[in-house]
């Protein structure tokens, strides 16, 4: 017994004897790390089970095809999400509501600003434009209603049918689009800022007879000569050049072309006219929307396609991350891009505020495009994000930052939570990209890969780094010319990094208005455990019954779509 006590004593003395500074430090840091982990423990943003199975596979599959994959919110056996569920006064409380059309999107935005007595509350969504670099202008909904009416009436009276919109992101762009839907005209979204020959060929292809264009962007003399089908032109004089001499605006010189300016059409009309949107005529046949995909392909979307695209966006993110009236949404890509347009319309319909910047789409510089306001949600191109990423990474080279970055990546990947700012991370705040005027306000970034267009791939690692640099969550969508809105999009809470996924991160699950399946090709086939092939889609947001996206893909183990 004594012997045992003696041995124990010796052992303890031995340990204490060897207990030097290094051990204390090690011991101390292990204890602090443990305490830190316990104190900082947060539930992951999404339950791990939800990330492990992100979409739903059909039970049966056709020969030579994969199973059919759908959003969990749009299960098999139910119709895919096709619309907004608009209820008209007098509709039963239990009715599903109409799918709606573009007029309902605008009416929804206008209604969001009015209380039950019909008075403007001013609390909800606003439409803003950024002029120059800092000046922000708010537009009255009543004024925009008037523009929608007067411009629509003007084009109609002069015999216009197919209206090309050749404008930068602006309130006139939005107003012309809605003019077309209220006055039975076909809007044609023409990519802005193109060389003359290109504009002419786009007008030819789209069969436009009326054009709404920004002064200075549209060489009228040349175009009217080479495009005789042009019957009317409406110039939009931008705020910056309003002081210019009106006589300098080339109007009336068009011979057979009726040339007027937007501002004159509005100012010359009696104040009492054009204030009320036309009564809704449900029997009116709805005109399609023509748009050019960045690859140059002209696509005609039905209004049902566009509305289904919007419905897909409204319902494919978890409730806590949806666009709400307190959001300020800024499209940093051109509204003539269908994906950007659908998201912007979703924001309007959600009563959010929308800010428009004419530089959007022209330069990929995110810092420049967000000057002067503090958006909570932005819609950007992969090119813009890649630029932010490489510029920021070039500034954040200190080894100390490397440690902070490591911890924050760990928070995202291991804990599934967005990293909080800490004393250490705040030290580097001045090096982060300045997106908007209020750091920390930006919460979500929507970015898309457009099949067939110029591509800037973003890998899972790139997206993770961007989450850390910007402090915002990222929704990475796959977009196709054949689908209004997104085809599939990554989960807003999915922060995992799968190195194996290659140069593109995965693209998540189908949105609620689309279902996706893969058809076997020569090299890619679906087998019992794996899904490979050419990506095909069906659903109300799809142009046509069933189309191939012209790309090969795979459905990964977590049932997300990835490009091959």
For binding to ligand NAG (CB under 6 A), which residues are involved? 40, 111-112, 157-158, 252, 258, 350-351, 386, 389-390, 393, 420, 459, 461-462, 521-524, 534, 550-552
Q: Are 458 and 505 in contact (CB under 8 A)?
A: yes
Nearest distance from C-beta of residue 557 to ligand NAG, angstroms: 20
Spatial strand order of the sheet with 509-510 comes to 135-139, 127-131, 353-357, 328-331, 377-381, 444-450, 473-479, 488-489, 509-510
For ligand NAG, the closer of residues 43 and 63 by Cβ is 43
Backbone φ, ψ for residue 99 (5° rounding): -65, -35
Residue 538 burial (C-beta neighbours within 10 Å; 0-12, 13-18, 19+): middle
Nearest distance from C-beta of residue 175 to ligand NAG, angstroms: 18
């959600």: which residue's tokens?
350
| CA separation for the pair 10, 420 (Å, rounded) | 47
| CA separation for the pair 310, 57 (Å, rounded) | 23
For ligand NAG, the closer of residues 167 and 348 by Cβ is 348
For ligand NAG, the closer of residues 28 and 252 by Cβ is 252
Nearest distance from C-beta of residue 134 to ligand NAG, angstroms: 28
For ligand NAG, the closer of residues 40 and 133 by Cβ is 40
| CA separation for the pair 214, 65 (Å, rounded) | 48
Nearest distance from C-beta of residue 457 to ligand NAG, angstroms: 8
For ligand NAG, the closer of residues 130 and 494 by Cβ is 494
The H helix count followed by the E strand count for the chain is: 16, 22
For ligand NAG, the closer of residues 393 and 431 by Cβ is 393
Residue 526 burial (C-beta neighbours within 10 Å; 0-12, 13-18, 19+): buried
For ligand NAG, the closer of residues 237 and 323 by Cβ is 323
| CA separation for the pair 501, 409 (Å, rounded) | 18
Q: Are 347 and 321 in contact (CB under 8 A)?
A: no
For ligand NAG, the closer of residues 147 and 350 by Cβ is 350
Of 378, 293, 301, 308, the closest CA to residue 349 belongs to: 308
Q: How many CA atoms lie within 13 A of 356 on its CB side?
A: 25
Nearest distance from C-beta of residue 392 to ligand NAG, angstroms: 9
359 is written with which tokens?
């530089």
Q: Are 519 and 550 in contact (CB under 8 A)?
A: no
Nearest distance from C-beta of residue 124 to ligand NAG, angstroms: 6
Nearest distance from C-beta of residue 105 to ligand NAG, angstroms: 11
73 is written with which tokens?
């919110």
Nearest distance from C-beta of residue 417 to ligand NAG, angstroms: 8
Nearest distance from C-beta of residue 14 to ligand NAG, angstroms: 40
For ligand NAG, the closer of residues 311 and 389 by Cβ is 389
């Amino acid at each position: 017994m004594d012997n045992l006590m003696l041995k124990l004593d010796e052992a303890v003395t031995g340990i204490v004897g060897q207990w030097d500074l290094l051990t204390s430090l090690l011991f101390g840091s292990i204890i602090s790390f443990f305490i830190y982990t316990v104190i900082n423990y947060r539930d992951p943003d999404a339950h791990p089970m939800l990330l492990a199975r992100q979409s739903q596979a059909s039970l049966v599959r056709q020969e030579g095809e994969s199973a059919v994959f759908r959003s969990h919110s749009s299960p098999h056996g139910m119709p895919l999400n096709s619309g907004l569920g608009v209820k008209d006064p007098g509709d039963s409380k239990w009715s599903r509501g109409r799918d709606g059309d573009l007029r309902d999107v605008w009416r929804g935005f206008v209604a969001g600003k009015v209380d039950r007595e019909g008075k403007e509350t001013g609390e909800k969504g606003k439409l803003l434009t950024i002029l120059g670099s800092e000046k922000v202008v708010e537009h009255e909904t009543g004024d925009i209603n008037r523009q929608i009416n007067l411009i629509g009436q003007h084009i109609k009276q002069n015999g216009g049918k197919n209206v090309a919109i050749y404008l930068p992101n602006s309130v006139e762009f939005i107003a012309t689009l809605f003019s077309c839907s209220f006055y039975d005209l076909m809007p044609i979204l023409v990519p802005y800022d193109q060389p003359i020959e290109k504009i002419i060929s786009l007008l030819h292809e789209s069969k436009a007879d009326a054009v709404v264009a920004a002064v200075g962007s549209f060489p009228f003399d040349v175009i009217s000569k080479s495009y005789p089908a042009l019957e009317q032109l409406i110039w939009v004089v931008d705020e910056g050049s309003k002081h210019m001499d009106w006589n300098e605006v080339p109007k009336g010189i068009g011979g057979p072309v009726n040339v007027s300016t937007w501002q004159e059409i509005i100012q010359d009309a009696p104040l009492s006219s054009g204030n009320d949107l036309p009564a809704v005529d449900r029997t009116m046949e709805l005109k399609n929307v023509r748009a050019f995909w960045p690859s140059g392909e002209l696509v005609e979307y039905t209004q049902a396609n566009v509305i289904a695209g919007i419905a897909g966006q409204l319902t494919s993110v978890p409730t806590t991350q949806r666009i709400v009236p307190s959001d300020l949404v800024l499209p940093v890509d051109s509204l003539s891009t269908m994906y950007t347009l659908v998201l912007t319309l979703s924001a309007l319909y959600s009563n959010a505020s929308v800010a428009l910047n004419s530089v959007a789409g022209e330069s990929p510089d995110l810092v420049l495009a967000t000057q002067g306001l503090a958006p909570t949600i932005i819609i950007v191109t992969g090119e813009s994000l890649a630029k932010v990423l490489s510029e920021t990474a070039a500034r954040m080279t200190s080894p100390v930052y490397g440690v902070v970055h490591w911890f924050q990546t760990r928070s995202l990947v291991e804990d599934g939570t967005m990293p909080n700012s800490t004393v250490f991370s705040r030290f580097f705040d001045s090096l982060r990209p300045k997106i908007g005027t209020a750091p920390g306000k930006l919460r979500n970034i929507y970015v898309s890969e457009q099949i067939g267009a110029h591509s800037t791939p973003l890998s899972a690692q790139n997206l993770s780094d961007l989450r850390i640099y910007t402090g915002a969550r990222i929704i990475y969508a796959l977009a196709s010319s054949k689908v209004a809105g997104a085809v599939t999009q990554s989960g807003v809470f999915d922060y995992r990094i799968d190195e194996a996924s290659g140069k593109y991160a995965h693209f998540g699950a189908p949105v609620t208005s689309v279902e996706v399946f893969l058809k076997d090709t020569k090299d890619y086939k679906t087998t019992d455990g794996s899904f490979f092939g050419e990506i095909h889609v069906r659903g109300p947001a799809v142009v046509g019954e069933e189309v191939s996206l012209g790309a090969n893909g795979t459905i990964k183990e977590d049932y997300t779509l990835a490009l091959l």
